[in-house]
Amino acid sequence: MARPSLSTTLPTRRLLLRPPRTSDVPTLRRVLRENAEHLRPWSPASTEEGGPSLVSLTQLVTSQRRAWRDDRSYVLLVTDVTTGDIVGRVALSELVRGVFQSAYLGYWIDHRVAGRGLMTEAVSAALGFALGPLGLHRVQAAIIPENAPSLRVAAKTGLREEGLAVRYLKIAGRWQDHRIFAITAEELT
């Protein structure tokens, strides 16, 4: 199976999902800084004062592009189809091939456009990509129980709840429980 190239785009009605480019770094840094408080309760603790530097973010994007080429993870920036503005991100990470054919799903949306169904649209496109062209069989998401908006996205995109993972990930500086959701290729509608 041929792997999708770094020129891959996933268009939806209101969005365009695409791999990050190093030219996105200044804009991405600004968006991350403007959303720091919005994302803090749901994100790993940042080690950099004031958010990621241009250098560290450039290294991250370069690493994400390498991981895409190596079929290890697929990070997609979520952009407004009209303006091209970066409004979020969806990541399919920790791919395992072989008999598992699985990845983890993570996502975030800019607080200025939250609540409009954009992340549901983006996650739906990413799931179609994962369980279609990428040839994965299963995609799993772990969501902090208090993260109501992410729980709504999971429900709207057909992710099925599988249970509770106690002290699953270290988020916002502490080990937190997560509700585990998944979808398989057979369940994608």
Percent with pLDDT over 70 in the chain? 96
Assess contact for 11 and 126: CB atoms under 8 A. Answer: no
**pTM of full prediction above 0.75:** yes
In CATH, the number for domain 11-184 is: 3.40.630.30
**pLDDT of 189 above 70:** no
pLDDT score, position 156: 97
Q: What is the pLDDT of residues 45-96, one digit of tens each?
A: 665 666 788 999 999 999 999 999 999 999 999 999 999 999 999 999 999 9
C-alpha pair distances (Å), 125 with each of 44, 50, 122: 25, 32, 5
- Cα dihedral 74, 127, 107, 27, rounded to 10, equals 60
